[in-house]
Chains A and B, each alone.
Chain A
Amino acid sequence: MKQIIKGGRVIDPANNLDKPLDILIEHGIIAAIGKDIVDEEAEIINAANKIVVPGLIDMHVHLREPGQEAKEDFYSGTRAAAAGGFTRIATMPNTSPSVDNAALIRSLQKQAADTGIVHVEIIGALTKGQQGQELAEVGDMAAAGAVAFSDDGHYVQRAKVLLNGLDYLRAFDKVIINHDEESSLVEDGSMNEGHRSAMLGMKGRPTVAEDIAVARDIMLAEYAEARVHVAHISSARAIDLVRQAKKRGVKVTAEVTPHHLTMTEDCVDLTDSATKVNPPLRTKADIEAVLAGLKDGTIDAIVTDHSPHAEEEKDREYALAPSGFPGLETAIGVLLTDLYHTGKLDLMTLISKMTAEPSRIFALDGGTLATGTPADITLLDLNHEWVVDPSDFYTRGTHSPFAGRKLKGRAVLTMVSGRVVMRDGKIID
């Protein structure tokens, strides 16, 4: 079984490659990459006028299994991923129960193999039940294949618990991903603390909550000489803390979401909880700082923080609705529209943050188009214009803050280990 992806512009940040090239795939492995590859037996995939990139990697999604299948499961979530051009996603453990032991890791791996259509990495809980008190069996989970550890959704409030995790995990070379918002400063706030929240009377989540959490994590990682990864960074001051830490050699990495790159608190509409998310949508100054951090390498990766909820959970009073919204199917369109087409970010950097960089942070074997690696490949059409309509989504999540937006650019083909799982936005089962 051979395929040739022919006539596309190949961008592979891992190899600093941006050229019109063909890719030959044999038995799901990239066999050759070069000019005008000819092979009579191969099926031709026409990539003329398309961008050919390594399959996109999203190192932060919520597939909701086990226990919250009304929101999402591996079947729907991996189809949403494929529709959005992602070939590999890492799912967070804040489920019910939390994914905090090796047996659950293995059962989810099996579930992914049975029902999923893209690669799924499992992130284990850092603490038992994500309660922030005692370390979960992280060594056991690492041996079972957990890709990283996180109490995402919750801040690890006790510094000693995080320090224990950082120390203990050094033996397994796995990174801790932290949701950084100091709990007592955010409580049950629903939006950024700023002029808008003040006028609306809404409880706010101040940037200082994120700043001091990031500062503490950097200090602890530095002290333990261990790795820490800051999830969905959103505050200008926190980004600067990461920048300074990286300069002095602290092993800290950071990720940002499309919404924190493109939307502000001004988008909050209390009649629609679609914009409710943690950390909250911030200000214009924060957006600018996030973009600057992405460009200068302070922020390593772009993730969606895909957080679907059931319709009836989101369609209610803003403060009572759960935080988060689906992002897998809108991410590349939003990023191409608001960052690439506006000239704010070049394609090589953008693709790197969604392929090579997450692969490096998780020490995966993907994120590149190098020969001999699995053929996880995504084709992008930079000029495809479309309108976001949640009723077209493969995810079960409905409320998207991007609903109704006109976007330019999307993934038009997703290949996972040589198998085409999405073509022109439609899943091929």
Chain B
Amino acid sequence: MGKSNVSLRGKHILGLEDFTPDEIEMVLLTAREMKNIIHRDIKKVPALRGKSIVTLFYEPSTRTRSSFETAGKYLGADVVNITAGTSSIVKGESLRDTLLTVEAMGFDAIVMRHKEEGAAAYAAKVVSHPVIVNAGDGAHAHPSQGLLNLFTLLDHKGHLKGLKVAIIGDILYSRVARSDIQGMRKMGIEVHLAGPRTLLPRFLAEEPGIFVHDRIEEAIEGADAINVLRIQLERQKAGLFPSRREYARIFGLNQERLKLAKPDALVLHPGPMNKGLEISPDIAYGNQSVIQELVENGVAIRMALLTLILTGGKNREADH
């Protein structure tokens, strides 16, 4: 496929806007192999033995942090976790100083989550040796989530180009939505966004392949997949929608609306879910839902990313 010159070794993973379609394909291919490892009885390979990874989380997280940690450990790396609440960060240490401290300990990769957009890119500028992996920067990007969504779509549909995906809910504050948009457009997927207009950013649909709708029914119609985003309760307090009840009635995904999509449409949700608000429980656990699968695929994608940025995945290519 002419990809011998594609390498992610040493590349900071900041957002999918920095990826070429070839690079995305390489991650997805590598993740396929990693998924096989997860299915083994002994889930441990020495690909990253001797490498050290730190997760530096300024925001709470269950699945993303533990997913990266698990991915690193399956590959034999040493993984250390730093969370904001239990570190010098509470003493007012600047992000720059924390990063330099972490760098001085010799970590090869820093997996970072931060509430400010661009924090991971800023970190990449501050450090010289470690590779930065953005595990979420404000509403900007969550590249590993975007990649695992692509991986899951590819797994089920066999191809990505020409698919139609609906993303519904709180687009305004969603880094998942933005990484989906960036990644899906690179791979030739048509992206349809819908939700209350108060939760949809203006000026988004200025590029080809992005469509914005007032009603979620319009976005869902004929879709191959629906990614339902989590609604934060703070949004209602900020006056962006009147009530949970009304949100569920007008913008929640229920069976009736799901029927507008293709019969084999997949339902995704990045979690954690508010069941009965943005998604009805019967869909969350129904046969079109791939929500649990996303968690497993997330570990595979993160194993692929860590391998590719820390070793270039040379061993894998030699096997072919």
Which of A201, A312, A318 is B122 in contact with, Cβ under 8 Å? A318
Query: When the two chains form their complex, are residues A201 and B203 in contact, meaning their CB atoms are under 8 A apart?
Result: no
Instruction: Contact check, A317 vs B201: say whether CB atoms are below 8 A apart.
Output: no
Q: Are B204 and A317 in contact (CB under 8 A)?
A: no
A315 touches B178 (CB 8 A): no
Q: Do A316 and B140 touch (CB < 8 A)?
A: no
How many chain B residues have a CB neighbour from A under 8 Å?
Answer: 28
Q: What's the nearest-Cβ distance from chain A to residue B238, in Å?
A: 10
Q: Is A344 interfacial (CB-CB < 8 Å)? A: no
What are the residues of chain B within 8 A of A1 when measuring CB–CB? none
Residue of A nearest to B122 (CB): A271
**Interface locus among B38-46, B64-72, B110-118:** B110-118
| B119 CB-CB contact with A under 8 Å | yes
B203 contacts A194, CB within 8 Å? yes
The answer to the question of B121 belonging to the interface, with a C-beta cut-off of 8 Å to chain A, is yes
In the complex, which residues of chain B have a beta carbon less than 8 angstroms from the beta carbon of A194?
203
Within the complex, what minimum Cβ distance (angstroms) separates A251 from chain B?
35
Residues of A within 8 Å of B206, CB to CB, are 195
A197 / chain B contacts, CB cutoff of 8 Å: 201, 203
A25-B154 Cα distance, complex, nearest whole Å: 81
Question: Quick check: is A193 within 8 A (CB to CB) of the other chain?
Answer: yes
Is the pair A319, B138 in contact by a Cβ cutoff of 8 Å?
Answer: yes
Confirm or deny: A202 has a beta carbon within 8 angstroms of a beta carbon on chain B.
yes
Tell me which residues from 311 to 334 in chain A have a Cβ below 8 Å from any Cβ of chain B: 312, 315-320
Task: Indicate whether A317 sits within 8 Å of B95 (C-beta atoms), given known contacts A202-B140, A270-B121.
Answer: yes
Tell which of A198, A272, A320 touches B202, judged by Cβ atoms closer than 8 Å.
A198
Instruction: Report the minimal beta-carbon distance from B136 to chain A, rounded to whole angstroms.
Output: 10
Cβ 8 A contact of B118, one of A195, A198, A199, A318? A318
Which A residues are CB-close (under 8 A) to B4? none
A317/B203 in contact, CB under 8 A: no
Q: With an 8 A cutoff between CB atoms, is A143 at the interface?
A: no
Interface residues of B in 103-152 (CB under 8 A from A): 114, 116-119, 121-122, 124-125, 138-141
Taking a contact as CB atoms under 8 Å apart, the answer to whether B117 and A193 are in contact is no
What are the residues of chain B within 8 A of A201 when measuring CB–CB?
117, 138-141, 173-175, 178
Pairwise interchain contact A270-B118, C-beta atoms closer than 8 A: yes
CB distance from A249 to the nearest CB of B (A): 36
CA separation between A315 and B96, bound complex, in Å? 8
Cβ-defined contact, B122 with A319, below 8 A: no
Q: C-beta contact mask, B156-190 vs A, less than 8 Å → 1, else 0?
A: 00000000000000000111001001000000000
Q: Which of B138, B140, B141, B173 has the most CB of A within 10 A?
A: B138
CB distance from A205 to the nearest CB of B (A): 13
B5 within 8 A of A: no
Q: Tell me whether B116 and A317 are in contact (CB under 8 A).
A: yes
Whether B118 lies near A200 (C-beta < 8 A) is: yes
- From B140, B174, B207, name the one whose CB has the most chain A CB atoms within 10 angstroms: B140
- Report the minimum CB–CB distance from B88 to chain A (whole Å): 16
Q: A199-B178, A201-B138 are in contact. Are A320 and B203 (CB under 8 A)?
A: no
Q: Is the CB of A198 within 8 A of B122?
A: no
Which residue of A is nearest B58, CB measured? A317
Residue of A nearest to B141 (CB): A201
**B287 close to A (CB within 8 Å):** no
Interface string of A178-213 (1 = CB under 8 A from B): 000000000000000111011111100010000000
Q: Does B86 contact A (CB under 8 A)?
A: no
Residues of B within 8 A of A (CB): 17, 94-96, 114, 116-119, 121-122, 124-125, 138-141, 173-175, 178, 181, 201-204, 206-207
Residues of A at under 8 Å CB distance from B? 193-195, 197-202, 206, 270-272, 312, 315-320
> What are 18 inter-chain pairs, A to B, with CB distance below 8 A?
A195-B203, A195-B204, A195-B207, A197-B203, A200-B140, A201-B139, A201-B140, A201-B174, A201-B175, A202-B140, A270-B122, A271-B118, A272-B125, A316-B94, A317-B95, A317-B114, A318-B117, A319-B116
